[in-house]
Amino acid sequence: MQFTKPTLEIEQSLWKKGLDHLAGVDEVGRGAFAGPVVAAAVILPKNFQIPDNFADSKQLRPKERKQFAELIKKEAKAWAIAEVGVSVIDKLGLGKAAQKAFRKALKDLKPVADFVLVDAFYIKHLNRKNQKPIIKGDQKSVSIAAASIIAKVHRDKIMRQYHKKYPKYGFGKHKGYGTKFHQVAIKKFGLTTIHRRQFIHFL
């Protein structure tokens, strides 16, 4: 498998400016039909050693993600995970719900982040001088990739638990995303309490 290897180049340039508590932030579940949006924030130490085959969560096998997630939590100066559920997603819309998850994850960090690296978008209600959005940031920044990994592992665990409650929908496999199997299940069995109403009215 060919990996796009994230590095610590961006982090190192900011550490040199005295920004010791540098947080990488990312979210998962944005495109799903069901389940929460989950965001994570990670502050890595300056001496973090990038493991072999380390990459953003989408490029890793489940076993690798789990191993890296355990390593990240052990090595990080701080980490936090935030969930925003379906009721909030349906009320606020996906964009605002994801922003809420970002802010909650950052708020739960101890120590507080000096500066934030975030995948793709600015985080609203956070001073733009204190953040840097990076297109495909999870493929470029180790801190953002680390956040993507622990967020993905956390959300996948949630969806496996939902699979036990709603076994006909296949949540354990597709994790709430709109696969053909999932779409057929929705048409056959209707919506569950964890489906995002505004996203799947067209089915």
Q: Which two tokens stand for residue 32?
A: 């799903």
Q: How many C-beta atoms lie closer than 10 Å to residue 73's C-beta?
A: 15
Q: Which two tokens stand for residue 80?
A: 């936090």
Nearest to 84, CA basis, from 70, 72, 100: 100
CA 125 from chain centre, in angstroms, equals: 19
3-state helix/strand/coil string of 73-115: HHHCCEEEEEEECHHHHHHHCHHHHHHHHHHHHHHCCCCCCCE
pLDDT value at residue 199: 67
Task: Please state the domain extents for the chain.
Answer: 9-160
> Taking the complete model, does pTM exceed 0.85, yes or no?
yes
List, for the chain, all residue ranges whose pLDDT scores fall below the cut of 50. 1
pLDDT value at residue 198: 75
Give the C-alpha distances (Å, rounded to integers) separating 87 from 34, 80, 124.
Answer: 11, 22, 21
pLDDT value at residue 18: 96
Element (H or E) spanning 189, and its range?
helix 180-189
Tens-digit pLDDT profile for residues 42-86: 999 999 999 999 998 989 999 999 999 999 999 999 999 999 999
Q: Which two tokens stand for residue 115?
A: 């500066």
CATH number of the structural domain 9-160: 3.30.420.10
Give the C-alpha distances (Å, rounded to integers) separating 148 from 43, 80, 123, 184.
Answer: 13, 12, 16, 29
